[in-house]
A and B are shown apart, each in its own frame.
Chain A
Amino acid sequence: MLEQIEGSVAVARAVALCRPEVICAYPISPQTHIVEGLGELVRSGALSPCEFINVESEFAAMSVAIGASAAGARSYTATASQGLLFMAEAVYNASGLGLPIVMTVANRAIGAPINIWNDHSDSMSQRDCGWLQLFAESNQEALDLHLQAFKLAEELSMPVMVCMDGFILTHAYERVSIPSQAEVDAFLPPYEPRQVLDPNEPVSIGAMVGPEAFMEVRYLAHKKQRMALERIPEIAAEFRARFGRDSGGLLHPYRMEDAETVVIALGSVLGTLKDTVDELRAAGVPIGVLGIASFRPFPLEALRAALSPAKRVVVLEKSFSVGLGGVVSTDVRLAVAGLALRGSTVVAGLGGRAITKDSLLCVLARALRDELPDLTFLDLDQGLVDRQLERERAVRRSGPIAENLLRDVGTVASKVH
């Protein structure tokens, strides 16, 4: 059924359709509406039986999810930004234990400086933790990915993060198709836990593993992610067969036919990119877009195959490895190693800075002329940075950075003197 609803509400409805037995969460913007939506569904009885636990922190949220999942319950939580970082130790724990928890990450920047707006720094910081990471392009896909995530997680006994852009998706009202409970039940079988509390076979979970087997346990997680590379497209195909739409999968190719230039991105910015590319295509430029829907596991082979015919690739990413450059582009580089392909990284949209079509057209024009450097920061105010560097050179006690920059841009700084 088509409904005009907020992205967070759509996700709450999707999660509820998956019949989770335990939900635990701590509020943090921009995730809050998701768990509030679920709280409401538990209250109204629409989601039953389900325990909704208000925990005292994100660290507790993930820990409770671990306990619940280990005891055999389908478990769900959601967080963002600082919350994800605070739960980091438990995030690794969940994947190490092979617990099929599903978590929504409403992608948001990480402070300091405090910033509640969208970029991908939070989930990218957990890139290597063993969780699968699926990125939603639209609210419909965010909804659909949750159904697929539980299926994938439970098949593989691995936790899955569904990443959706904070505010841009979580707070946007869009028309989404909500499947019926019967449809979801047919797609997602009841959870059959791999480890249960069995009095006939009592077991302690969380064994200490020394050098004799630690690498094998970790490798197993890698192996399962490699297996997921096969299962993700199959699940997406099954999803398409049942629900009649494309959602998930490894990659989202758009106008890739004969594309000499390919722009790679993740998440909601793909919409803006498609519009931009349409404009360029209309002007006769052979350019296409390749969305990465599965960031972990990273689809090296699929990406290489898709990029092989191209001449240049631009990775547009909302994440930033300070001291190196792009996060996604490092992985892309690995995928295309040895191909005669000119590549550049464009870091964009950090802390919620708008990624406009005009700016994209500008940067892509430079790419098409092969004038784009290896690393560009979209709409970066270099003067602002230079002024701060100059200040730091001139005086030792140059003061706090963020406050200085805010004063320079003329925003009312946190302190009015």
Chain B
Amino acid sequence: MTTNATECLLQLCDEQFQLEDYQSGVPRWCSGCGDNAILAAVQRLCRDEALRPEKTVFVSGIGCSSRFPHYMKTYGFHGIHGRALPVAEGVKMARPDLTVFVNTGDGDCCSIGAAHWIHAIRYNMNLTVFLHDNQIYGLTKKQASPTSPIGTKSNTTPRGSYLEALNPVSVTLGVQNVSFVAQAVDWIPEVLFDIVKAAYHHRGLSFVRIVQRCPEWLPKSFDPWLHDPNRVQILAHANGLHPSAALSRTYKNQLEHDPSNIHRARELAGDSVNIPVGILYRNPEVPCYEDLIRPDLLRTPELTRSVLDSEMDKYTIWP
């Protein structure tokens, strides 16, 4: 394999990134759509972490959320419905040196792609997965999704949906090898950003369910939580979220929750009255898939470095 020497030299430079370096095009989402909040948080993360655009990939499936890669000036892959996770796994296996994000919606992940979801958690590859959960199929204009609350009237459930909503956080916490689960809401940007950042820093599959508003098709769905900050329960911990004083003035319902406690995490995830926001579970000890297979088969940074070294050695002038 060959490696571009300038790529190596570039890394030596002190890189400064601006938000503009990650912004691409004008999002076509509706105004007030939670996707915009997620995009803002993720672009801020990229800037703060100085993620090199050419080392970053956003993979999506189909749905409103899946337009995400088009709005990032990084690599992007807008795939087919439900297949964001396996595509991202393929990218990660071929190029483990890239930072891979997945943007998937409640239809894409919890419905048509649900089989991949379970297995992606089990593989625990180093991916950061954002579940944009607006509880409705938006792109096809209002049909019930698996996460739609019971009784949701939609174009395919005109009598109201019959089933209890699927809880993506509980499901994820129930799968073998789960290593990071967090929940955020689009209307608290500060916490959304902190969670996105923690997810990025976790090595393994970080699953972040982002409860997001759909002003077009379910405009009032989250009003009870929006109008009563006490129904949003902030999970704080030394190893988790550190809510600011300003935030704590509004969001007084706070709970100490140790993210290493999976049993407590599962209890909290099942809360049907409040929305728990924070890091529910984190276990850095769960091995990544990349570590379990033969690492020498992967194009790891170490391998890249060694090849680069041997390439540079060709130009060495021995005394």
Question: Interface size (A, Cβ < 8 Å)?
Answer: 29
**Quick one: closest A residue to B26, CB to CB?**
A416
**Quick one: closest A residue to B144, CB to CB?**
A54
Residue from A32, A43, A58, A86 in contact with B141 in the complex, judged by beta carbons closer than 8 Å: A32
- Interface-side segment among B76-84, B215-223, B243-251, B296-304: B76-84
Given A32-B140, A56-B111, A56-B112, is A39 in contact with B155 using a C-beta cutoff of 8 Å?
Answer: yes
| B146 proximal to A (CB < 8 A) | yes
- Chain B nearest Cβ from A80, distance in angstroms: 11
- Chain A nearest Cβ from B26, distance in angstroms: 8
Complex interface: chain B residues within 8 A of A32 (CB):
140-141, 143, 155
| A221 proximal to B (CB < 8 A) | no
Residue from B80, B114, B140 in contact with A29 in the complex, judged by beta carbons closer than 8 Å: B140
Interface 0/1 of A330-372, CB less than 8 Å to B: 0000000000000000000000000000000000000000000
CB interface residues, B 47-88, toward A, < 8 Å: 62, 70, 73, 76, 78, 80-82
CB of A416 within 8 A of CB of B24, answer yes
CB of A39 within 8 A of CB of B140, answer no
Complex interface: chain B residues within 8 A of A56 (CB):
111-112, 114, 146
CB interface residues, B 129-151, toward A, < 8 Å: 137, 140-141, 143-144, 146
A32 CA to B116 CA, complexed, in Å: 25
Complex interface: chain A residues within 8 A of B81 (CB):
82, 86
B62, B82, B155 — most chain A CB neighbours (10 Å)? B155
- Interface-side segment among A20-28, A167-175, A252-260, A306-314: A20-28
- Chain A nearest Cβ from B113, distance in angstroms: 8
| A373 proximal to B (CB < 8 A) | no
A40 CA to B154 CA, complexed, in Å: 10
| A68 proximal to B (CB < 8 A) | no
Residue from A40, A111, A415 in contact with B24 in the complex, judged by beta carbons closer than 8 Å: A415
| B156 proximal to A (CB < 8 A) | yes
A128 CA to B25 CA, complexed, in Å: 43
CB of B158 within 8 A of CB of A43, answer yes
CB interface residues, B 3-45, toward A, < 8 Å: 24-25
CB of B140 within 8 A of CB of A54, answer no
| A35 proximal to B (CB < 8 A) | yes
CB of B78 within 8 A of CB of A414, answer yes
Complex interface: chain A residues within 8 A of B143 (CB):
27, 32, 36, 54
- Chain A nearest Cβ from B101, distance in angstroms: 16
Residue from A25, A58, A114, A412 in contact with B156 in the complex, judged by beta carbons closer than 8 Å: A25
CB of B137 within 8 A of CB of A27, answer yes
CB of B155 within 8 A of CB of A28, answer no
CB of B73 within 8 A of CB of A42, answer no
Complex interface: chain A residues within 8 A of B144 (CB):
54
| B157 proximal to A (CB < 8 A) | yes
| B227 proximal to A (CB < 8 A) | no
A42 CA to B159 CA, complexed, in Å: 9
| B124 proximal to A (CB < 8 A) | no
Complex interface: chain A residues within 8 A of B76 (CB):
414-415
CB of B137 within 8 A of CB of A415, answer no
**Quick one: closest A residue to B74, CB to CB?**
A415
A414 CA to B156 CA, complexed, in Å: 31
Residue from B70, B80, B82, B156 in contact with A39 in the complex, judged by beta carbons closer than 8 Å: B156
A112 CA to B157 CA, complexed, in Å: 31
**Quick one: closest B residue to A28, CB to CB?**
B140
Complex interface: chain B residues within 8 A of A36 (CB):
143, 155-156
| B161 proximal to A (CB < 8 A) | yes
Complex interface: chain A residues within 8 A of B82 (CB):
57
Complex interface: chain B residues within 8 A of A111 (CB):
80
Interface 0/1 of A28-68, CB less than 8 Å to B: 11001001100110111000000010101111000000000
A304 CA to B82 CA, complexed, in Å: 45
| A396 proximal to B (CB < 8 A) | no
Complex interface: chain A residues within 8 A of B73 (CB):
415, 417
CB of A82 within 8 A of CB of B159, answer no
A58 CA to B25 CA, complexed, in Å: 32
**Quick one: closest A residue to B70, CB to CB?**
A414
Given A27-B137, A414-B70, is A57 in contact with B112 using a C-beta cutoff of 8 Å?
Answer: yes
A415 CA to B22 CA, complexed, in Å: 11
**Quick one: closest B residue to A412, CB to CB?**
B25
Residue from A25, A29, A57 in contact with B111 in the complex, judged by beta carbons closer than 8 Å: A57
- Chain A nearest Cβ from B133, distance in angstroms: 15
- Chain B nearest Cβ from A2, distance in angstroms: 26
A26, A44, A86 — most chain B CB neighbours (10 Å)? A26
**Quick one: closest A residue to B140, CB to CB?**
A27
A28, A112, A415 — most chain B CB neighbours (10 Å)? A415
- Chain B nearest Cβ from A411, distance in angstroms: 12
Complex interface: chain B residues within 8 A of A28 (CB):
140
- Chain B nearest Cβ from A279, distance in angstroms: 39
CB of B70 within 8 A of CB of A415, answer yes
A86 CA to B115 CA, complexed, in Å: 14
**Quick one: closest B residue to A112, CB to CB?**
B80
A40 CA to B156 CA, complexed, in Å: 8
Complex interface: chain A residues within 8 A of B70 (CB):
414-415
- Chain B nearest Cβ from A60, distance in angstroms: 8
- Chain A nearest Cβ from B164, distance in angstroms: 14
CB of B157 within 8 A of CB of A39, answer yes
- Chain B nearest Cβ from A184, distance in angstroms: 23
- Chain B nearest Cβ from A406, distance in angstroms: 12
CB of B158 within 8 A of CB of A40, answer yes
Residue from B25, B62, B111, B112 in contact with A415 in the complex, judged by beta carbons closer than 8 Å: B25
CB of A54 within 8 A of CB of B25, answer no
Interface 0/1 of A244-258, CB less than 8 Å to B: 000000000000000
CB of A42 within 8 A of CB of B140, answer no
- Chain B nearest Cβ from A363, distance in angstroms: 34
A52 CA to B144 CA, complexed, in Å: 13
A356 CA to B161 CA, complexed, in Å: 44
Q: A26-B111, A32-B141, A56-B111 are in contact. List 16 more A-B contacts (CB 8 A).
A: A25-B156, A26-B112, A27-B140, A27-B143, A27-B156, A32-B143, A52-B156, A54-B157, A56-B112, A57-B111, A82-B62, A82-B81, A114-B62, A414-B76, A415-B25, A416-B24
Sort A-B residue pairs by CB-CB distance and give the 8 closest, nearest first. A43-B158, A57-B112, A36-B155, A27-B140, A56-B111, A416-B25, A27-B143, A39-B156
Residue pairs across A and B with Cβ atoms less than 8 A apart, 8 shown, are A26-B111, A27-B156, A32-B141, A40-B158, A56-B112, A415-B24, A415-B76, A416-B24
Chain B residues at the A interface, C-beta cutoff of 8 Å: 24-25, 62, 70, 73, 76, 78, 80-82, 111-112, 114, 137, 140-141, 143-144, 146, 155-159, 161
